[in-house]
Amino acid sequence: MRNRAQYERGTTGGVAWQAVAAPADVALSGIAREYSEFRECAYQPVERSEVAGAEPVLIVEFDDPLLVADVAEHGSPRVWQAFGAGMSQGPTSTLHAGKQHCIEVRLTPLGLYRMSGLAMDELSNRVVSLEDLFGRDGRELPERLASEPDWAHRFDLLDSMFVRAATNGPEPDAEVAFAWHRLQRTGGTAIIGEILTEIGWSRARLAKRFRSQVGLTPKAAARVLRFDRAMALLAEPGHRSLTSIALACGYYDQAHFNRDFRELAGCSPREWAAAQHNLPGAPAPAVR
């Protein structure tokens, strides 16, 4: 039995669901963060909008395929049974026919770079096949996962594949890793000029290498990280004003916060908070 697994189940908006989540193996620290297996059953199609995010994700569907409209080609959705996606700067829409059984993997940008060896800016805002990411291993992964008897064995299979991929992949530049971790630790509020002084690189060099290994420029990544932190504060229990959240996350004012949030989430902060009660396991937070 894997340690620290979390189980949830319930019925939300007439949709019955259950989920189990567990952290990736400690050997994958800084590469893969969490695995989850999710099931839901509805009597009608289920459509969701996934907001912008700093974490690349992998999805493997065992039941109905997903119709996915990514950020880059939102007007041309495609059907996927399994896919990966890099960092995103806008909402991605998903639709399934009513039955879902899937594995979701949460990665780090530098972790996906290490495992795939691909330029991360080619994956940002896009959905790609697992074969594009991992070659033959990626192509065979859905069938191998489906043949395992339960979620624990599936998570173990992911651990072994990712450890092997990371061992054989490229190491990120130490300067890029430093810049990314500084931005991440500060919720996107670190001053990029100060980072440049510490690593001794030019702005152009950092932008080019950072985009290739993380997926976005430092400035764009910082914007997504500020948004991530704002969502975390919005989801906390209790009442907190939007102005205080905006200031805590480094926005100039609430108008700037509202504008950025709408571009990255496809809705206002209040609309996002109110919609959370429609998501499995996520009670609606209160804002004022």
Which pLDDT score, from 0 to 100, does residue 273 have? 85
Numbered ranges of CATH 2.60.120.10 in the chain? 6-168
Q: Which residues contact 260 (CB under 8 A, 6 or more apart)?
A: 223, 226, 227, 251
Start and end residues for every CATH 1.10.10.60 domain found in the chain: 174-287
pLDDT digits (tens, 9 = 90+) for 263-288: 999 999 989 888 765 555 444 344 44
**Cα–Cα distance between 101 and 151 in angstroms, integer?**
11
Please list the ranges in the chain whose pLDDT falls under 50. 281-288
Contact 240, 254 (CB under 8 A): no
Give per-residue pLDDT as tens, 202-225: 999 999 999 999 999 999 999 999
pTM to 2 decimal places? 0.91
Q: What is the CATH number of domain 6-168?
A: 2.60.120.10
**CATH superfamily for domain 174-287:** Homeodomain-like (1.10.10.60)
